Protein backbone atom coordinates (compact mmCIF):
# COMPACT_ATOMS: atom_id res chain seq x y z
CA UNK A 1 0.00 0.00 0.00
CA UNK A 2 1.16 3.52 -0.74
CA UNK A 3 2.13 5.69 2.18
CA UNK A 4 -0.33 8.51 2.93
CA UNK A 5 0.75 11.90 1.65
CA UNK A 6 1.64 14.27 4.45
CA UNK A 7 4.25 16.64 3.02
CA UNK A 8 4.07 18.15 -0.45
CA UNK A 9 6.14 20.68 -2.35
CA UNK A 10 5.11 23.18 -4.99
CA UNK A 11 7.34 24.93 -7.53
CA UNK A 12 7.17 26.89 -10.77
CA UNK A 13 9.42 26.13 -13.70
CA UNK A 14 10.16 27.37 -17.23
CA UNK A 15 8.74 30.66 -18.45
CA UNK A 16 6.68 32.69 -16.00
CA UNK A 17 2.98 33.22 -16.66
CA UNK A 18 0.44 35.58 -15.06
CA UNK A 19 -1.63 33.54 -12.61
CA UNK A 20 1.18 31.36 -11.25
CA UNK A 21 0.94 33.15 -7.92
CA UNK A 22 -2.80 32.49 -7.76
CA UNK A 23 -2.08 28.78 -8.33
CA UNK A 24 0.60 28.75 -5.61
CA UNK A 25 -1.84 30.44 -3.24
CA UNK A 26 -4.52 27.84 -3.96
CA UNK A 27 -2.08 24.94 -3.45
CA UNK A 28 -0.82 26.29 -0.13
CA UNK A 29 -4.26 27.04 1.28
CA UNK A 30 -5.81 23.77 0.12
CA UNK A 31 -2.89 21.78 1.52
CA UNK A 32 -3.12 23.62 4.83
CA UNK A 33 -6.85 22.98 5.00
CA UNK A 34 -6.14 19.26 4.57
CA UNK A 35 -3.54 19.29 7.40
CA UNK A 36 -0.63 18.78 5.03
CA UNK A 37 2.80 20.29 5.42
CA UNK A 38 3.45 22.38 2.32
CA UNK A 39 6.88 23.44 1.09
CA UNK A 40 7.96 25.84 -1.63
CA UNK A 41 10.86 25.07 -3.95
CA UNK A 42 12.55 28.20 -5.27
CA UNK A 43 13.82 28.49 -8.86
CA UNK A 44 12.23 25.30 -10.16
CA UNK A 45 14.31 22.19 -10.75
CA UNK A 46 17.52 24.17 -10.22
CA UNK A 47 16.37 25.03 -6.72
CA UNK A 48 15.31 21.44 -6.15
CA UNK A 49 18.86 20.32 -6.95
CA UNK A 50 20.37 22.95 -4.65
CA UNK A 51 17.96 22.31 -1.77
CA UNK A 52 16.28 25.73 -1.94
CA UNK A 53 13.19 24.48 -0.12
CA UNK A 54 11.29 26.08 2.75
CA UNK A 55 8.06 25.55 4.62
CA UNK A 56 5.15 27.70 3.47
CA UNK A 57 2.34 29.03 5.64
CA UNK A 58 -0.86 30.72 4.53
CA UNK A 59 0.72 34.05 5.47
CA UNK A 60 3.32 33.56 2.73
CA UNK A 61 0.61 33.62 0.06
CA UNK A 62 -1.45 36.50 1.39
CA UNK A 63 -1.92 39.38 -1.04
CA UNK A 64 -0.36 37.61 -4.07
CA UNK A 65 -3.39 36.56 -6.14
CA UNK A 66 -3.20 39.77 -8.19
CA UNK A 67 0.55 39.71 -8.78
CA UNK A 68 2.20 38.64 -12.03
CA UNK A 69 5.30 36.46 -12.15
CA UNK A 70 5.90 33.91 -9.40
CA UNK A 71 6.95 34.42 -5.77
CA UNK A 72 8.81 31.09 -5.96
CA UNK A 73 10.84 32.38 -8.91
CA UNK A 74 11.54 30.17 -11.90
CA UNK A 75 14.45 28.88 -13.93
CA UNK A 76 15.44 26.39 -16.58
CA UNK A 77 17.88 23.76 -15.34
CA UNK A 78 20.44 22.02 -17.54
CA UNK A 79 21.62 19.98 -14.54
CA UNK A 80 18.19 18.42 -14.13
CA UNK A 81 18.49 16.99 -17.64
CA UNK A 82 21.23 14.68 -16.34
CA UNK A 83 20.82 11.58 -14.12
CA UNK A 84 23.31 13.11 -11.68
CA UNK A 85 21.27 16.29 -11.38
CA UNK A 86 18.02 14.40 -10.84
CA UNK A 87 19.70 12.29 -8.13
CA UNK A 88 20.70 15.46 -6.28
CA UNK A 89 17.11 16.74 -6.63
CA UNK A 90 15.77 13.50 -5.20
CA UNK A 91 18.14 13.69 -2.25
CA UNK A 92 16.93 17.24 -1.52
CA UNK A 93 13.30 16.06 -1.45
CA UNK A 94 14.15 13.08 0.75
CA UNK A 95 16.00 15.36 3.17
CA UNK A 96 12.71 17.24 3.72
CA UNK A 97 10.62 14.02 3.80
CA UNK A 98 8.54 15.31 0.88
CA UNK A 99 5.98 12.78 -0.35
CA UNK A 100 4.76 14.47 -3.56
CA UNK A 101 5.31 17.49 -5.78
CA UNK A 102 3.09 19.93 -7.66
CA UNK A 103 4.81 21.46 -10.68
CA UNK A 104 3.50 24.63 -12.32
CA UNK A 105 4.79 25.07 -15.85
CA UNK A 106 4.59 23.88 -19.41
CA UNK A 107 5.89 21.23 -21.76
CA UNK A 108 9.49 21.21 -20.51
CA UNK A 109 8.41 21.20 -16.87
CA UNK A 110 6.17 18.18 -17.36
CA UNK A 111 8.79 16.33 -19.39
CA UNK A 112 11.17 16.70 -16.46
CA UNK A 113 8.48 15.59 -14.00
CA UNK A 114 7.66 12.52 -16.09
CA UNK A 115 11.28 11.39 -16.28
CA UNK A 116 11.89 12.08 -12.59
CA UNK A 117 8.78 10.21 -11.46
CA UNK A 118 9.84 7.17 -13.51
CA UNK A 119 13.25 7.13 -11.83
CA UNK A 120 12.13 7.88 -8.27
CA UNK A 121 9.02 6.99 -6.33
CA UNK A 122 7.72 10.51 -5.76
CA UNK A 123 4.39 11.31 -7.43
CA UNK A 124 3.90 14.54 -9.36
CA UNK A 125 0.89 16.50 -10.50
CA UNK A 126 1.34 19.25 -13.06
CA UNK A 127 -0.55 22.53 -13.28
CA UNK A 128 -0.46 24.04 -16.80
CA UNK A 129 1.11 27.47 -16.39
CA UNK A 130 2.20 28.84 -19.77
CA UNK A 131 0.98 31.70 -21.93
CA UNK A 132 1.35 29.49 -25.04
CA UNK A 133 -1.82 27.43 -24.38
CA UNK A 134 -0.15 24.49 -26.13
CA UNK A 135 -0.82 21.64 -23.69
CA UNK A 136 -3.23 18.84 -24.51
CA UNK A 137 -5.72 18.10 -21.76
CA UNK A 138 -6.96 21.59 -20.92
CA UNK A 139 -8.95 24.15 -22.87
CA UNK A 140 -6.81 26.98 -21.54
CA UNK A 141 -3.54 27.26 -19.66
CA UNK A 142 -2.83 29.71 -16.86
CA UNK A 143 -1.54 32.99 -18.28
CA UNK A 144 -3.00 32.63 -21.77
CA UNK A 145 -5.97 34.93 -21.20
CA UNK A 146 -3.79 37.66 -19.71
CA UNK A 147 -1.28 37.40 -22.56
CA UNK A 148 -4.05 37.73 -25.15
CA UNK A 149 -5.57 40.73 -23.38
CA UNK A 150 -2.15 42.40 -23.22
CA UNK A 151 -1.57 41.73 -26.93
CA UNK A 152 -5.02 42.99 -27.93
CA UNK A 153 -4.50 46.19 -25.95
CA UNK A 154 -1.17 46.72 -27.72
CA UNK A 155 -2.72 46.08 -31.14
CA UNK A 156 -5.53 48.52 -30.37
CA UNK A 157 -2.92 51.22 -29.80
CA UNK A 158 -1.05 50.29 -32.97
CA UNK A 159 -4.34 50.45 -34.87
CA UNK A 160 -4.64 54.16 -34.02
CA UNK A 161 -1.25 54.84 -35.60
CA UNK A 162 -1.94 52.59 -38.58
CA UNK A 163 -5.21 54.40 -39.26
CA UNK A 164 -3.67 57.85 -38.88
CA UNK A 165 -0.83 57.15 -41.31
CA UNK A 166 -2.46 54.62 -43.69
CA UNK A 167 0.11 51.99 -42.73
CA UNK A 168 0.43 48.23 -42.92
CA UNK A 169 1.62 46.79 -39.60
CA UNK A 170 3.05 43.31 -39.08
CA UNK A 171 2.66 42.60 -35.36
CA UNK A 172 4.52 39.66 -33.84
CA UNK A 173 3.12 37.95 -30.77
CA UNK A 174 4.54 35.20 -28.57
CA UNK A 175 3.47 31.57 -28.36
CA UNK A 176 6.58 29.63 -29.29
CA UNK A 177 5.38 26.96 -31.74
CA UNK A 178 1.69 27.51 -30.94
CA UNK A 179 -0.57 29.97 -32.74
CA UNK A 180 -3.21 30.32 -30.03
CA UNK A 181 -2.13 33.78 -28.91
CA UNK A 182 -1.93 34.96 -32.52
CA UNK A 183 -5.37 33.57 -33.40
CA UNK A 184 -7.18 34.99 -30.38
CA UNK A 185 -5.35 38.31 -30.69
CA UNK A 186 -6.27 38.49 -34.37
CA UNK A 187 -9.94 37.87 -33.68
CA UNK A 188 -10.05 40.13 -30.62
CA UNK A 189 -8.32 43.04 -32.36
CA UNK A 190 -10.09 42.74 -35.71
CA UNK A 191 -6.85 42.14 -37.62
CA UNK A 192 -6.98 41.68 -41.37
CA UNK A 193 -4.82 38.55 -41.46
CA UNK A 194 -3.39 36.05 -38.98
CA UNK A 195 -0.32 33.92 -39.66
CA UNK A 196 -0.15 30.73 -37.58
CA UNK A 197 2.49 27.98 -37.34
CA UNK A 198 -0.26 25.35 -37.60
CA UNK A 199 -1.61 26.65 -40.91
CA UNK A 200 0.43 26.75 -44.10
CA UNK A 201 0.50 30.28 -45.48
CA UNK A 202 2.47 31.58 -48.43
CA UNK A 203 3.68 35.12 -49.02
CA UNK A 204 1.47 35.22 -52.11
CA UNK A 205 -1.63 34.45 -50.04
CA UNK A 206 -0.92 37.39 -47.76
CA UNK A 207 -0.27 39.68 -50.72
CA UNK A 208 -3.49 38.56 -52.37
CA UNK A 209 -5.44 39.43 -49.20
CA UNK A 210 -3.72 42.81 -48.92
CA UNK A 211 -4.36 43.61 -52.57
CA UNK A 212 -8.04 42.80 -52.11
CA UNK A 213 -8.16 45.27 -49.23
CA UNK A 214 -6.32 47.93 -51.23
CA UNK A 215 -8.78 47.47 -54.10
CA UNK A 216 -11.60 48.24 -51.66
CA UNK A 217 -9.70 51.41 -50.65
CA UNK A 218 -8.88 49.95 -47.26
CA UNK A 219 -6.77 52.65 -45.62
CA UNK A 220 -4.65 50.45 -43.36
CA UNK A 221 -4.14 46.82 -42.42
CA UNK A 222 -2.94 44.76 -39.47
CA UNK A 223 -1.31 41.34 -39.83
CA UNK A 224 -0.74 39.27 -36.67
CA UNK A 225 2.26 36.93 -36.90
CA UNK A 226 2.95 34.11 -34.45
CA UNK A 227 6.63 34.10 -33.48
CA UNK A 228 6.99 30.44 -34.46
CA UNK A 229 5.74 30.84 -38.04
CA UNK A 230 7.83 28.74 -40.47
CA UNK A 231 8.29 31.71 -42.84
CA UNK A 232 10.04 33.62 -40.05
CA UNK A 233 9.16 36.43 -37.68
CA UNK A 234 7.26 39.59 -38.49
CA UNK A 235 10.32 41.41 -39.80
CA UNK A 236 11.30 38.64 -42.23
CA UNK A 237 7.74 38.34 -43.53
CA UNK A 238 7.37 42.11 -43.89
CA UNK A 239 10.63 42.31 -45.85
CA UNK A 240 9.50 39.53 -48.20
CA UNK A 241 6.14 41.17 -48.86
CA UNK A 242 7.65 44.64 -49.36
CA UNK A 243 9.59 43.32 -52.33
CA UNK A 244 6.35 42.60 -54.20
CA UNK A 245 3.72 44.87 -52.66
CA UNK A 246 4.28 48.51 -51.67
CA UNK A 247 0.76 49.94 -51.59
CA UNK A 248 1.09 50.68 -47.87
CA UNK A 249 3.94 52.10 -45.85
CA UNK A 250 4.99 49.07 -43.83
CA UNK A 251 5.98 48.90 -40.18
CA UNK A 252 6.81 46.06 -37.80
CA UNK A 253 5.97 45.80 -34.09
CA UNK A 254 7.17 42.98 -31.83
CA UNK A 255 5.21 42.93 -28.59
CA UNK A 256 7.56 40.43 -26.94
CA UNK A 257 7.82 39.85 -23.21
CA UNK A 258 5.19 42.45 -22.34
CA UNK A 259 2.79 39.52 -22.82
CA UNK A 260 4.41 37.50 -20.03
CA UNK A 261 4.08 40.06 -17.26
CA UNK A 262 1.41 42.06 -15.55
CA UNK A 263 -1.47 41.42 -13.23
CA UNK A 264 -3.48 38.33 -14.26
CA UNK A 265 -7.00 38.74 -15.54
CA UNK A 266 -9.94 37.54 -13.46
CA UNK A 267 -10.26 34.53 -15.76
CA UNK A 268 -6.65 33.51 -15.14
CA UNK A 269 -7.02 34.01 -11.39
CA UNK A 270 -10.12 31.81 -11.27
CA UNK A 271 -8.58 29.10 -13.49
CA UNK A 272 -5.36 29.09 -11.46
CA UNK A 273 -7.32 28.81 -8.22
CA UNK A 274 -9.40 25.91 -9.55
CA UNK A 275 -6.37 24.01 -10.83
CA UNK A 276 -4.28 24.64 -7.71
CA UNK A 277 -7.09 23.40 -5.49
CA UNK A 278 -7.74 20.39 -7.73
CA UNK A 279 -4.06 19.43 -7.85
CA UNK A 280 -3.95 18.96 -4.07
CA UNK A 281 -7.32 17.20 -3.99
CA UNK A 282 -6.14 14.98 -6.85
CA UNK A 283 -2.99 13.92 -5.00
CA UNK A 284 -5.04 13.01 -1.94
CA UNK A 285 -7.43 11.02 -4.15
CA UNK A 286 -4.58 8.96 -5.63
CA UNK A 287 -3.80 10.81 -8.86
CA UNK A 288 -0.18 10.33 -9.90
CA UNK A 289 2.03 11.75 -12.65
CA UNK A 290 -0.73 13.62 -14.46
CA UNK A 291 -1.58 17.16 -15.47
CA UNK A 292 -4.70 18.72 -14.05
CA UNK A 293 -6.71 20.71 -16.58
CA UNK A 294 -10.14 22.08 -17.38
CA UNK A 295 -12.12 20.81 -20.37
CA UNK A 296 -15.64 22.10 -20.99
CA UNK A 297 -15.57 23.53 -17.45
CA UNK A 298 -14.87 20.08 -15.95
CA UNK A 299 -11.66 19.25 -14.08
CA UNK A 300 -9.79 16.42 -15.82
CA UNK A 301 -6.49 14.63 -15.25
CA UNK A 302 -4.31 13.76 -18.24
CA UNK A 303 -1.26 11.52 -18.21
CA UNK A 304 1.96 13.52 -18.60
CA UNK A 305 2.85 11.58 -21.72
CA UNK A 306 -0.42 12.60 -23.42
CA UNK A 307 -0.32 16.22 -22.25
CA UNK A 308 3.20 16.56 -23.69
CA UNK A 309 2.96 14.55 -26.89
CA UNK A 310 -0.64 14.88 -28.05
CA UNK A 311 -1.20 17.77 -30.43
CA UNK A 312 -3.71 20.37 -29.31
CA UNK A 313 -5.73 21.39 -32.36
CA UNK A 314 -7.70 24.53 -33.04
CA UNK A 315 -11.43 24.61 -33.40
CA UNK A 316 -11.64 24.84 -37.24
CA UNK A 317 -14.60 27.21 -36.97
CA UNK A 318 -12.37 29.76 -35.24
CA UNK A 319 -9.92 29.69 -38.12
CA UNK A 320 -12.68 30.06 -40.70
CA UNK A 321 -14.30 32.87 -38.71
CA UNK A 322 -10.99 34.74 -38.40
CA UNK A 323 -10.52 34.58 -42.17
CA UNK A 324 -14.06 35.76 -42.93
CA UNK A 325 -14.06 38.60 -40.39
CA UNK A 326 -10.66 39.76 -41.57
CA UNK A 327 -11.85 40.42 -45.12
- Using CA atoms, how far residue 81 sits from 100, 108, 112, in Å, is 20, 10, 7
Select from 135, 122, 86, 91 the least CA-distant residue to 8: 122
Q: Any catalytic annotation for residue 132?
A: yes
Please name which of 162, 158, 111 lies closest in space to residue 289, comparing C-alpha atoms: 111
Report the distance separating Cα 13 and Cα 44, nearest Å.
Answer: 5
Distance (Å, whole) CA 265 – CA 68: 10
Q: Are 151 and 259 in contact (CB under 8 A)?
A: yes
d(CA 323, CA 327): 7
| 58 Cβ neighbours under 8 A, 6+ residues apart | 28, 29, 32
Residue partners of 305: CB distance under 8 A and separation at least 6: 114
- How large is the C-alpha radius of gyration of the chain? 22
Exactly one of 99, 132, 134, 268 is catalytic; which is it? 132
- Helices 83-95 and 107-119 cross at an angle (nearest 10°) of 80
Backbone angles phi, psi at 17, to 5 degrees: -145, 135
Active-site positions read: 132
Amino acid sequence: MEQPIKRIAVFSSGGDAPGMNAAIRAVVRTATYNDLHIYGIYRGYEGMINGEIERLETSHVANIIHRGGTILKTARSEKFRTPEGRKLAYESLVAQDIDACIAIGGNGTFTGAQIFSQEYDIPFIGIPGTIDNDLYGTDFTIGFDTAVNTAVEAVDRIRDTADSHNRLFFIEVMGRHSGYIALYTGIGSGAGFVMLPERETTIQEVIQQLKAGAKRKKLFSLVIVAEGHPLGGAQAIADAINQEFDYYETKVAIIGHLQRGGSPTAQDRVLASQLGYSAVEGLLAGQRNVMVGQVNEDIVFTDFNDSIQQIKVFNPDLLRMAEILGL
